[in-house]
Structure 1
Amino acid sequence: MSRIEKLEELLRENSGDAFLNHALALEYVKTGDDAKAGTIFKNLLEKNEDYVGSYYHLGKLLERSGDETGAITVYKKGMEVAQRLGERHAYNELRAACEYLEF
């Protein structure tokens, strides 16, 4: 059984688990299925906007697809959330990614 299959099985029991959804999206990134990964990241953040790590990965995915404007928007939203939650490390990573695209 692949990692994707295992995660999907676990998600059948608890579809709203943010960690499992994040992990599944990352597995799809590894396989090169950015469309599937993007859908999972977006759904995760719609339901749980405080899952800070997903902003960075969704932003990078958007960058790879050529959507720099979308990536900047995601990074900035993630920065707001990270700042509100006091997540300095996440904030700094998101800021660095955002500044790289803006300059």
Structure 2
Amino acid sequence: MKPMIENLQKLVGGPRDGALLRMSLGNAWLEEDAARAAHHYRDALGFDATLSAAWKGLGKALEKAGDDAGALAAWREGIAVAAKRGDRQAEKEMTVFARRVEKRLGAL
């Protein structure tokens, strides 16, 4: 385990635990273990379901783990959240990601 992940993991359950810590853990795990990253992104959303970046990260992690349907569902939810918050960049990015998966799944 990378030292950064170890340091972040030590903060889980403490006074600094929250959506941003869990997002950081998701980002840190994304390249090494997509399933573990997805777990942390879900935890981040448990703290704050309006965090567009967590929806985007969850979709990426699920896609990387081979769960295209799960990734698509995460991005669709994330698109709705981003639109409601006015987070146009995240909305655009997740729309592109979702379309790519829809084409792959034949959902168009």
**Structure with the higher helix share, 1 or 2:** 1
Report how far residue 63 of structure 1 moved: 1.1
Aligned residues: 102
Residue 59 of structure 1 aligns to a residue in which SS? helix
Q: In structure 2, what is the equivalent of residue 72 of structure 1? A: 72
TM-score by length of 2: 0.83
Identity %: 27
Cα separation, 1, equivalents of 2:30 and 2:15: 22
Which 5+ residue runs of structure 1 have no aligned equivalent? none
- After the TM superposition, list the runs of 4 or more consecutive aligned residues in structure 1 that deviate by more than 6 angstroms: none
Q: Does 1:18 align with 2:19?
A: yes
Report how far residue 46 of structure 1 moved: 2.5
Q: CA-atom RMSD, angstroms?
A: 1.7
Cα separation, 1, equivalents of 2:76 and 2:64: 17
TM-score by length of 1: 0.87
Moved more, 79-88 or 3-12: 3-12
Structure 2 vs 1, CA of residues 19 and 47 (structure 1 numbering), >3 Å: closer, same or farther?
closer
